[in-house]
């Protein structure tokens, strides 16, 4: 390295500044599995792998930029980002582009965005900011206000309808409230209320959402309709066996029995070709990612950065658990991608933004105290 000119050495140092090696390494390792699986899933329609590499580039850039910002600066984005996000969510209803019966997208002319995606970052940011502002004098009413701040976008997203994003946004918000010290009494009270309200929630769900839940309970009731996806992905996982059928060898994948192969159901592709061994390695990688995130969380200096880091980290868990649970048939089918594996630019950039925030919090943990 000493052979390199001093300017390059400086550039390298600047580039590595605030970047957390373990976090990036684990994320990239998962990405590597993801890219291989995307290649396998789209082998007859090439281009996806390259596109995902470009998405990765964009994600890394976003990560790097955010990592350079100290958390105080991030805090400033909290309210505007949240307000803009909610406004855009409101705009989706009259102006959104309807795809498969759901309005999730807004056209910006040159591109289109999913406002729900903004909330995945804006929600924990907003709530973290809110609790930080009222630190040391937190009363029940603050939790109630936080709950309302969470409920509005959650309801808007759920009505689009986009149950997957609603769950992710809701979970991210809930983690903040939980880590900010929501009393256990209330938590258990809410669980009890939730169980009691289940029939009411059921009545509010859309038909297709209900069907998804019903087919989860017994996929065979509708083997050619809603249950088909789940049955096929479970077959793929089971057929993978202990060691997998080998890369590019999965018949469920290559004969197109697995639906949404390169996006939401990429885990079935991976699982068929890599088997239990691959699954275990993937689980360990996610655990390492979460563990590193929680370490950063535990060591963060302010309430804001603590609950934000915790929420983001636990969101990664939510993504991974809900997705793998859904693909392996123990959770209902909701549109949640597998983090760093599933194809998709927006989701990937959002994920790397989260990683960037974690890095920023780690890098700046001492600054606040000093």
User: Quick one: which of 49, 160, 232, 342 contacts other proteins (CB under 8 A)?
Assistant: 232
280 binds other proteins (CB under 8 A): yes
- The token duo for 180 is 């900010």
Short-list 211, 165, 192, CA closest to 323: 165
338 binds other proteins (CB under 8 A): no
User: Quick one: which of 39, 105, 131, 317 contacts other proteins (CB under 8 A)?
Assistant: 317
Q: Which is nearer to other proteins, 213 or 239 (CB)?
A: 239
CB 152 within 8 A of CB 106: no
Closest CB 137 distance from other proteins, rounded Å: 11
Q: Which is nearer to other proteins, 82 or 317 (CB)?
A: 317
How many Å apart are CA 152 and CA 154, to the nearest integer? 5
- The token duo for 325 is 């649970």
298 binds other proteins (CB under 8 A): yes
Chain mean position to CA 153: 16
How many Å apart are CA 269 and CA 37, to the nearest integer? 6
User: Quick one: which of 120, 211, 306, 362 contacts other proteins (CB under 8 A)?
Assistant: 306
Q: Which is nearer to other proteins, 184 or 200 (CB)?
A: 184
User: Quick one: which of 240, 339, 344, 356 contacts other proteins (CB under 8 A)?
Assistant: 240
216 binds other proteins (CB under 8 A): no
Interface residues for other proteins in 119-178 (CB under 8 A)? 136, 175, 178
User: Quick one: which of 3, 196, 255, 366 contacts other proteins (CB under 8 A)?
Assistant: 255
Stretch of 30-38, 90-98, 230-238, 351-359 lying at the interface with other proteins (CB under 8 A): 230-238
Closest CB 321 distance from other proteins, rounded Å: 5
Short-list 173, 167, 128, 165, CA closest to 148: 173
- The token duo for 129 is 């900011």
Stretch of 24-32, 54-62, 229-237, 350-358 lying at the interface with other proteins (CB under 8 A): 229-237
328 binds other proteins (CB under 8 A): yes
Q: SS3 of 255, please?
A: coil
Closest CB 33 distance from other proteins, rounded Å: 15
Q: Which is nearer to other proteins, 28 or 277 (CB)?
A: 277
Q: What angle do CA 353, 170, 101 make, to 5 degrees?
A: 95
How many Å apart are CA 282 and CA 266, to the nearest integer? 13
- Interface residue list for other proteins (CB under 8 A): 136, 175, 178-179, 181, 232, 234-242, 251-252, 255-257, 271, 275-276, 279-280, 283, 286-287, 290-291, 294, 297-298, 303, 306, 310, 314, 317, 321, 324-325, 328-330
């Amino acid at each position: 390295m000493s052979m390199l000119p001093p300017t390059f050495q400086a550039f390298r140092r600047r580039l590595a500044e605030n970047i957390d090696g373990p976090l990036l390494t684990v994320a990239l390792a998962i990405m590597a599995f993801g890219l291989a699986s995307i290649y396998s899933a789209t082998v007859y329609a090439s281009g996806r792998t390259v596109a995902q590499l470009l998405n990765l580039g964009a994600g890394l850039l976003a990560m790097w930029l955010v990592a350079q910002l100290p958390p105080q600066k991030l805090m400033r984005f909290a309210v505007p980002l949240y307000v803009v996000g909610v406004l855009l969510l409101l705009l989706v209803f009259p102006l959104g582009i309807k795809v498969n019966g759901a309005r999730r997208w807004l056209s910006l002319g040159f591109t289109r965005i999913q406002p729900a995606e903004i909330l995945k970052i804006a929600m924990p940011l907003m709530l973290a900011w809110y609790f930080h502002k009222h630190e040391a004098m937190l009363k029940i009413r603050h939790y109630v206000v936080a709950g309302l701040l969470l409920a509005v976008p959650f309801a808007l997203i759920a009505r689009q309808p986009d149950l997957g994003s609603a769950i992710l946004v809701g979970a991210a918000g809930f983690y903040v409230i939980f880590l900010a010290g929501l009393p256990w009494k209330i938590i258990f009270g809410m669980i009890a209320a939730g169980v009691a309200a289940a029939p009411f929630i059921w009545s509010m769900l859309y038909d297709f959402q209900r069907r998804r839940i019903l087919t989860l309970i017994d996929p065979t009731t509708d083997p050619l309709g809603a249950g088909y996806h789940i049955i096929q992905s479970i077959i793929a996982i089971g057929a993978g066996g202990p060691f997998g059928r080998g890369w590019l060898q999965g018949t469920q994948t290559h004969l197109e029995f697995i639906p949404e192969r390169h996006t939401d159901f990429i885990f079935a592709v991976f699982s068929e070709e890599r088997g239990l061994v691959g699954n275990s390695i993937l689980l360990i990688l996610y655990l390492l990612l979460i563990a590193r995130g929680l370490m950063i969380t535990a060591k963060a200096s302010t309430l804001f950065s603590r609950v934000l880091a915790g929420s983001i980290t636990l969101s990664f868990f939510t993504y991974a658990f809900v997705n793998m649970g859904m693909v392996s048939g123990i959770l209902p089918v909701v549109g949640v991608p597998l983090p760093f594996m599933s194809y998709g630019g927006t989701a990937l950039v959002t994920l790397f933004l989260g990683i960037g925030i974690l890095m920023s919090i780690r890098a700046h943990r001492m600054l606040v105290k000093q």
